[in-house]
Amino acid sequence: MKAIQMVKPGSEPELREVDKPSPGPGEVLLKVTAAGACHSDDFVLNLPPEGFPYPLPLTLGHEGVGVVAELGSGVTTLTEGTAVAVYGPWGCGVCHFCSRGLENYCSNAAELQIAPPGLGAPGAMAEFMIVDDPRHLVPIGDLDPVTTVPLTDAGLTPYHAIKPSLPKLVGGTTAVVIGTGGLGHVAIQLLRHLTPSRVIALDVTPEKLDFAKEVGAHETVLSDADAVANIRKITGKDGATAVFDFVGYQPTIDTAMGAVGTMGDVTIVGLGDGQAAAKVGIWAQPYEVSVRAPYWGSRSELIEVLDLARDGALDVAVQTFGLDDGVDAYRKLAANDLRGRAVVVP
Ligand code: NAD
Ligand code: ZN
């Protein structure tokens, strides 16, 4: 079968011919119907070769939707032909975090060498993929695989990031979204649907800012050296109640810390260059600001996000590619030349 694989750090992924996998005991084989390309893939593709964390070649794709094609022995909770979304942050299933559905924070994954598909295990950018356990699959019913697949990360991650701030996002407050790409454009819609807050979106081009308005931002601000002043012109002296940074480089983290107001939340989701950090201390930001850096989301939250999509609350923008031109999707992602999410349809 065909698969898009990372072969060498620092190089483009490649379309390659690999063996079709077959499910072992307890596993599920999916015929992939859609796979999303995430900026985290680009981050991984550009990691230095020394100390590279995953076995290579690696089939990419941690956002996957498919149809159950074959059940490994002992799997009784699914039937062939069911359309499912893959919950990607696989954990052990039994530690305290996994027991709460927070497999993204599994205490044992590293030690047990459990890795998400596309981020260690073979991913969704292929004709078929293996899912290690049926609990990592959520039936999607008649949702469209192409607009649903980004919800497994570009929907789930902002949802998990926004949820803890919801009690603060009451009437009259402001939420700021920095970076209106795959994750950010869903974040804007989640904030509009779940809160009465005014939403200010930041990005680097007028086209991206127009897109942010189209998906629901009330106001937009160019993400430059004047961004804090321009956000504060809108918020007044109270600043923003919650800032979500879907970029994560030092300048955007500084913007987030500069825009947030007293008792506000700063949530850093973007990986940036892997080095940037928020400076926190008694005089470094307004009083009682909380800073979080969350990773992905829980199993139950994926079900909640899919339910929101079913209710019509989310309009995910996608650009589709075949497996044959999937490498081009990664080129466009790296060049920041996408509107919403790139989705590969095998
Ligand atoms: P994307 O490429 O689709 O979107 C990034 C957006 O940020 C683009 O619209 C781009 O124009 C904009 N941008 C770039 N530089 C900017 C700047 N200085 N100021 C404002 N906007 C800027 O990326 P994505 O797939 O949405 O991922 C966003 C980030 O989140 C990436 O760093 C990714 O690795 C990370 N991520 C983190 C998690 C997690 O669990 N923490 C999960 C998924 C993705
Ligand atoms: Zn991702």
Q: What pLDDT, in 10s, does the model give residues 187-200?
A: 999 999 999 999 99
Query: pLDDT, tens digit, for every residue of 251-273?
Result: 999 999 999 999 999 999 999 99
Look at ligand 1, atom 12, and give the residue with the nearest C-alpha.
Answer: 179
Specify burial of residue 107 (Cβ count, 10 A radius: 0-12, 13-18, 19+). Answer: middle
Domain boundary among 252, 274, 292: 292
Angle, in degrees to the nearest 10, between helices 227-235 and 250-259: 20
Residue 32: which CATH number? 3.90.180.10
Tokens at 5, concatenated: 């694989």
What number is the average pLDDT over the span 179-191? 98
Give alpha helix (H) positions in the chain: 39-45, 96-99, 109-112, 145-148, 156-162, 182-194, 206-214, 227-235, 250-259, 299-310, 326-334
What number is the average pLDDT over the span 322-340? 97
Of the bound ligands, which one is closest to the alpha carbon of residue 270?
1
- Statement to judge: residues 113 and 205 lie in one domain: no
- Statement to judge: residues 230 and 171 lie in one domain: yes
- CB of 202 closer than 8 Å to CB of 255: yes
The confidence score (pLDDT) of residue 243 equals: 99
> Does ligand 1 have an atom closer than 6 angstroms to the CB of 295?
yes
The confidence score (pLDDT) of residue 30 equals: 98
> Does ligand 1 have an atom closer than 6 angstroms to the CB of 187?
no
Domain containing 185 equals 159-292
- Measured CA to CA, the distance from residue 61 to residue 118 in angstroms comes to 4
- Statement to judge: residues 146 and 8 lie in one domain: yes
Q: CB neighbours of 333 closer than 8 A, spacing ≥ 6?
A: 37, 39, 41, 42, 342
Query: pLDDT, tens digit, for every residue of 94-104?
Result: 999 999 999 99
- Statement to judge: residues 205 and 149 lie in one domain: no
> Does ligand 1 have an atom closer than 6 angstroms to the CB of 40?
yes
Whose CA is closest to 156, among 225, 245, 63? 63
The confidence score (pLDDT) of residue 43 equals: 97
Residue with tokens 């483009």: 12
The confidence score (pLDDT) of residue 305 equals: 98
> Does ligand 1 have an atom closer than 6 angstroms to the CB of 153?
yes
Q: For 27, how many CA atoms within 13 A lie in the half-sphere containing its CB?
A: 13
Domain boundary among 292, 309, 335: 292
The confidence score (pLDDT) of residue 54 equals: 96
Query: pLDDT, tens digit, for every residue of 105-139?
Result: 999 999 999 999 999 999 999 999 999 999 999 99
- Statement to judge: residues 115 and 163 lie in one domain: no
The confidence score (pLDDT) of residue 127 equals: 98
- CB of 109 closer than 8 Å to CB of 91: yes
The confidence score (pLDDT) of residue 211 equals: 98
- Measured CA to CA, the distance from residue 292 to residue 60 in angstroms comes to 27
DSSP 3-state of 127:
coil
> Does ligand 1 have an atom closer than 6 angstroms to the CB of 181?
yes
The confidence score (pLDDT) of residue 146 equals: 98
Domain boundary among 292, 316, 333: 292
The confidence score (pLDDT) of residue 296 equals: 98
State the distance from the centre of ligand 2 to the C-alpha of 84, rounded, in angstroms. Answer: 18
pTM of the model: 0.98
State the distance from the centre of ligand 1 to the C-alpha of 17, rounded, in angstroms. Answer: 30
Which DSSP letter does residue 21 get? P
Query: pLDDT, tens digit, for every residue of 8-42?
Result: 999 999 999 999 999 999 999 999 999 999 999 99
Q: Which amino acid is at 76?
A: T
The confidence score (pLDDT) of residue 182 equals: 98
- Statement to judge: residues 54 and 197 lie in one domain: no
Phi then psi for 16, rounded to 5 degrees? -135, 160
Phi then psi for 249, rounded to 5 degrees? -85, 165
- Measured CA to CA, the distance from residue 325 to residue 4 in angstroms comes to 10
Look at ligand 1, atom 9, and give the residue with the nearest C-alpha.
Answer: 181
- Statement to judge: residues 196 and 249 lie in one domain: yes
Look at ligand 1, atom 10, and give the residue with the nearest C-alpha.
Answer: 179
Tokens at 309, concatenated: 């999509």
Nearest atom, ligand 1, residue 268 CA: 41
- Statement to judge: residues 262 and 305 lie in one domain: no
Query: pLDDT, tens digit, for every residue of 192-222?
Result: 999 999 999 999 999 999 999 999 999 999 9
- Statement to judge: residues 267 and 307 lie in one domain: no
- Statement to judge: residues 306 and 163 lie in one domain: no
Q: How many domains does the chain have?
A: 2
Residue with tokens 């989310």: 314
- Statement to judge: residues 168 and 270 lie in one domain: yes
- Statement to judge: residues 9 and 137 lie in one domain: yes
ipTM, interface predicted TM-score of the complex: 0.99
Look at ligand 1, atom 30, and give the residue with the nearest C-alpha.
Answer: 270
Query: pLDDT, tens digit, for every residue of 273-326?
Result: 999 999 999 999 999 999 999 999 999 999 999 999 999 999 999 999 999 999
State the distance from the centre of ligand 2 to the C-alpha of 42, rounded, in angstroms. Answer: 10
Q: Which of 159, 200, 203 to mutate to test the pocket of ligand 1 (most atoms within 8 A of CB)?
A: 203
State the distance from the centre of ligand 2 to the C-alpha of 284, rounded, in angstroms. Answer: 30
The confidence score (pLDDT) of residue 145 equals: 98
The confidence score (pLDDT) of residue 248 equals: 98
Task: Give strand pairing partners of 345.
Answer: 322
